[in-house]
C-alpha cells in the first residue's frame, strides 16, 4: 500500500528521526560526563573504555542532531553501538530482551540507516550541499 501523502514528507520525517536519535544518543554522554539527566550507574571514575564511548556519544550526538558531517558521524556511532552490543550485552545472553541490548541494536541500525540515507531536511549538511537539478547532493 502506497501512502503518497506521507511519502512527500520523507525528508522532514528523516530529519525528525535524525534529530530525535541524536538527542537520545547525546543523553547517554551527558549522563556519563555530567550526571544529567540522571547519574551514570557506575560508582567512581569512569574506566577509559566508557570515557571513549562517552566522547563518541557526545561528538556524534551533537553532529547528528545538527546534521553536520551526518553520514560519517552516524557511521561511527553505528559502529560504537555494534561494539557495545557484542562486548557488553551479548555475553550476558544471546537474546536482546534478556541482555538488555535492544537500545544498542536499535541505535546501531538507525545510525546505519542515517549514514546511508543522509541527513534529510533541516540540517547543516543540506544547507552546505544543496540539491542539484538531478536531485543529488553536489
Q: What is the pLDDT of residues 55-72, one digit of tens each?
A: 999 999 999 999 999 999
Q: DSSP characters for 48-113? A: HHHHHHHHHHHHHHHHHHHTSSHHHHHHHHHHHHHHHIIIIIGGG-SSHHHHT-HHHHHHHHHHHH
Task: Output the average pLDDT for the chain.
Answer: 94
pLDDT tier at 10 (50, 70, 90 boundaries)?
Answer: very high
pLDDT value at residue 130: 78
Share of the chain above pLDDT 90, in %: 86
3-state secondary structure of 131: strand
Report the predicted TM-score, pTM, of the whole model to 2 decimal places. Answer: 0.92
Task: Cis check for the bond before 37: say yes or no (omega within 30 of 0).
Answer: yes
- 29 exposed, middle or buried (CB, 10 Å; 0-12, 13-18, 19+)? buried
CA distances from 123 to 70, 82, 90, 104 (A): 9, 25, 35, 24
pLDDT tier at 137 (50, 70, 90 boundaries)?
Answer: low
pLDDT tier at 136 (50, 70, 90 boundaries)?
Answer: low
- pLDDT average, residue stretch 118-134: 84
Report whether pLDDT(132) > 80.
no
Amino acid at each position: 500500500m502506497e501512502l503518497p501523502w506521507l511519502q512527500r514528507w520523507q525528508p522532514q520525517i528523516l530529519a525528525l528521526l535524525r534529530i530525535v536519535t541524536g538527542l537520545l544518543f547525546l543523553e547517554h554522554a551527558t549522563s556519563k560526563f555530567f550526571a544529567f539527566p540522571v547519574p551514570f550507574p557506575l560508582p567512581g571514575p569512569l574506566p577509559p573504555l566508557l570515557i571513549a564511548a562517552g566522547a563518541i556519544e557526545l561528538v556524534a550526538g551533537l553532529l547528528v542532531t545538527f546534521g553536520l558531517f551526518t553520514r560519517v558521524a552516524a557511521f561511527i556511532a553505528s559502529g560504537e553501538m555494534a561494539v557495545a552490543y557484542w562486548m557488553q550485552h551479548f555475553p550476558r545472553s544471546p537474546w536482546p530482551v534478556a541482555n538488555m541490548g535492544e537500545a544498542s541494536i536499535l541505535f546501531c541500525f538507525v545510525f546505519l540507516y542515517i549514514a546511508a540515507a543522509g541527513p534529510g531536511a533541516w540540517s547543516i549538511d543540506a544547507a552546505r550541499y544543496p540539491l542539484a537539478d538531478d536531485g543529488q547532493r553536489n
